Structure 1
Amino acid sequence: MTAPRLLHPGAWWLWAVGLAACALRTTNPVLLCLIIAVAGWVVASRRADVPWSRSFASFLRLGMIVIAVRIIFQIFFGVRIPGTTLFTIPEVTLPDWAAGVSLGGPVTLESLMAAFYQGLRLAAVLACFGAATSLCSPYRMLRALPTVLYEAGVAVTVAFTFAPQAIVASRQVREARRLRGRSDRGVRAWSASALPVLEGALDRAVALAASMDSRGYGRRGSSSVSVRRRSVGLVLLGLVAIAVGSYGLLDPSAPALFRIPALGVGAAALIGALVAGGKSTVRTRYRPDPWIGPEWMVSIAGIVAFASFVLVGRMGDALSPSTNPLEVPAVPVVAVIGLLVAALPAWFAPHPPTLASSSAPLVVAA
């Protein structure tokens, strides 16, 4: 049995991105609910006992808010899809220049189901990224980045850190209000907590910047200006090409040039940036995170799930059930098998160490 340890953060993020890509390729509510269930099961099985590991529930609540907002927008402003009319709200006649936009009118079951499917898809994506933030610390992800990716890595780390830190600060503020005998529920309580939560998030951002500066992040070493410019240019080219290639893989209607070729160009540019920028690195690592068998298995589980959805998309329309006319969503077996593979990290990923069983810190600060 594998000894308790923290899995490499890159493995968890690759797994979560694979699940999120699956969610973006489908509006099938059965598959979307399975994606959320898989993410929740893995989080419940392999999260560490630290405050930021509880952020998954907050992402689920945010997803429910997204679904509700999407349905409300459909009721008042959405495109009127013909079908079974549930109720009618007063309609406002708009000028000719606002053609295609409706305000009020009949609300059909088909339009509400279409809005629900779209909102559920975004909620599933939020659940996947909530799982990643619950399973690994973004500080450890930043520590694992190559030197040439520091600038992009710092920005991404600060962005990814905001959500879990804001959730932790919100919980602390609510507990403080309860200890003072004040209510922690309702609009008034949330409005009174907004400023302390924002202040706490800003304080943590300043502390993160000071910690990174004291540890020498951003040091250039003896590299010349031309080498740095070449490395930055290759990084930008690689990130843009990978973004375009990822969009091409997620959108079946995208041209073939925006898929594998774009990903290949992006990967080649990033490899060139790593080679050019890595020669002048002056950084050493203390206790680097290993990348061994469990990391490979977790990463491959997410990739297999995404590959199964790509295969199902080429076999038929099971990933996008019709809402006009409304039909019962089909359940493609291949996609379900892929999601079952994505749930395997709940068993073969190593258990995280506990404070009682390990002297190593669970959170490695930047």
Structure 2
Amino acid sequence: MSAGADASHPIPPPIPHPAPRPRLAHGTGAGPSVRPRPLAAPRAHRSNALHPGAWWLWALGLGTAASRTTNPLLLALLVGVAGYVVAARRTSAPWARSYGAFVKLGLAVIGIRLVFAVLLGSPIPGTHVLVTLPEVPLPAWAQGVRIGGRVTVEGLVFALYDGLKLAALLICVGAANALASPARLLKSLPGALYEAGVAVVVAMTFAPNLIADVRRLRAARRLRGRPDKGLRGLVQVGLPVLEGALERSVALAAAMDARGYGRTAEVPAVVRRTGAALTLGGLVGVCAGTYGLLTADGARYGLPVLLAGVAASLGGLWVGGRRSVRTRYRPDVWGVRAWLVAASGAAVAAVMILAGSHDPAALAPGVVPLAAPALPLWPAAGVLLGLLPAFVAPAPPLAETPSKEAS
């Protein structure tokens, strides 16, 4: 190349590369390069999803705590804990939307209990009479039962406390239904309980699927400008819902038949009889031990008999599981987070049981004389332990399709 060419076409200077951005130190700011905190719960995916049994143990712990008290403040705190965990950790699957239905069912239970207290009376004597209803005369053999009569404030408050107790139990069960996948729960059952587990899981998923079908059909009718409320809407929505339930049942039966459901391995008769005897004896031991723990006279033998019954039941399930020839694809792992979730529910139940043995009046406030219930501090602090799953359980994915979760 000549010198004139070099003068007319000068070589452009090199473009300087931008200096590398300094990496932010851990915890100093937000940005794509900042790593998540080690204690923060990760996003849930197939490999780190929480075991469904942990959710049920947590919910059963809360339900046990609710069954030990009639204090409305503690029951409201238990319901709030369950609702917060469900709001923080439930997915967008169809069965995860059933929690609202259980809350409405609990409110209906409270209303029915109050109606019964008004119409049928209450065994609690009271002096603050609200209204006196016409009383229906009953024969002598129905002594102790009345229809109508005086309605007192004490009787209504007692009925409200009982209704809140049952409503809290239903809401705890609804929390487990909204958080634990029924399909994964069925896969995690022992082989000896697989047949019974199928019936239980189908019964548990009927209500969530029914609610999802009703919502879908009502939304479709609203888009078409058709009524979705009242008796006419109920009749026109009920038939498609029943048809969909029948189609799902037929599809489930076909899928189970195609996968060889019901086939068992050939085992000796001694093994079958041993498994049946251990399971039956273990269940009897569990019932006897539980009765001993609930009574004052059987406190000495209650715990040993209960432990022996649980051990015999587990042995019977292990022996009975040898008849099952099914395999498991990628079974769920019971990890550290599952232990923490289950332990939080057990801690809530244990704190409530200990509080009932030391200060039973705080867990069962009286209504005669009528007084405002007080909030016991350390039982309330124990109930707050149930919030642990909202921080340690894997968080639901940000963009999640219901079809993937349901499958």
TM-score, with normalisation over the residues of structure 2? 0.81
> Could you say if the C-alpha distance between residues 126 and 274 of structure 1 is closer, same or farther in structure 2, counting changes exceeding 3 Å?
same
Where structure 1 has 5 or more consecutive residues not aligned to the other structure, the ranges are none
What's the secondary structure of 1:23's corresponding residue?
Answer: helix
Distance (Å, rounded) in 1 between the aligned partners of 2:207 and 2:290: 24
What's the secondary structure of 1:326's corresponding residue?
Answer: coil
Contact in 2 for aligned 1:239/1:266 (Cα 8 Å): yes
Q: Give CA-to-partner distance per residue, 1:170-190, whole Å, 9 cap, x none.
A: 212322332332222234433
Distance (Å, rounded) in 2 between the aligned partners of 1:33 and 1:21: 15
* Residue 276 (structure 1) shift: 1.3
Distance (Å, rounded) in 2 between the aligned partners of 1:166 and 1:15: 25
Distance (Å, rounded) in 1 between the aligned partners of 2:65 and 2:297: 17
Where structure 2 has 5 or more consecutive residues not aligned to the other structure, the ranges are 1-39
Contact in 1 for aligned 2:71/2:373 (Cα 8 Å): yes
| Correspondence for 1:72 among 105, 115, 138 | 115
Aligned to 1:210: 254
Contact in 1 for aligned 2:79/2:168 (Cα 8 Å): yes
Q: Give CA-to-partner distance per residue, 1:102-133, whole Å, 9 cap, x none.
A: 10011000101111111111111110011001
1:260 paired with 2:303, answer yes
Identity of aligned residues (%): 49
Distance (Å, rounded) in 2 between the aligned partners of 1:109 and 1:300: 40
CA RMSD of aligned residues (A): 2.5
Aligned residues: 362
* Residue 283 (structure 1) shift: 2.5
What's the secondary structure of 2:88's corresponding residue?
Answer: helix
Q: Give CA-to-partner distance per residue, 1:59-100, whole Å, 9 cap, x none.
A: 000111111011001100133532200111111111111111
1:143 paired with 2:187, answer yes
Aligned to 2:55: 12
| Correspondence for 1:104 among 148, 151, 166 | 148
Stretch of structure 1 that moved more, 41-50 or 71-80: 71-80
Q: Of the two, which has the highest radius of gyration?
A: 2
1:175-190 superposed matches below 5 A: 175-190=219-234
1:51 paired with 2:94, answer yes
What's the secondary structure of 1:26's corresponding residue?
Answer: coil
> Could you say if the C-alpha distance between residues 324 and 164 of structure 1 is closer, same or farther in structure 2, counting changes exceeding 3 Å?
same
1:116 paired with 2:160, answer yes
* Residue 164 (structure 1) shift: 1.2
Distance (Å, rounded) in 2 between the aligned partners of 1:42 and 1:216: 38
Stretch of structure 1 that moved more, 108-117 or 212-221: 212-221
Aligned to 1:309: 352
Stretch of structure 1 that moved more, 78-87 or 115-124: 78-87
Contact in 2 for aligned 1:83/1:325 (Cα 8 Å): no
Distance (Å, rounded) in 2 between the aligned partners of 1:205 and 1:228: 31
* Residue 256 (structure 1) shift: 3.0
Aligned to 1:335: 379
TM-score, with normalisation over the residues of structure 1? 0.90
Alignment-mate amino acid for residue 75 of structure 1: V
Distance (Å, rounded) in 1 between the aligned partners of 2:283 and 2:405: 30
Distance (Å, rounded) in 1 between the aligned partners of 2:191 and 2:300: 31
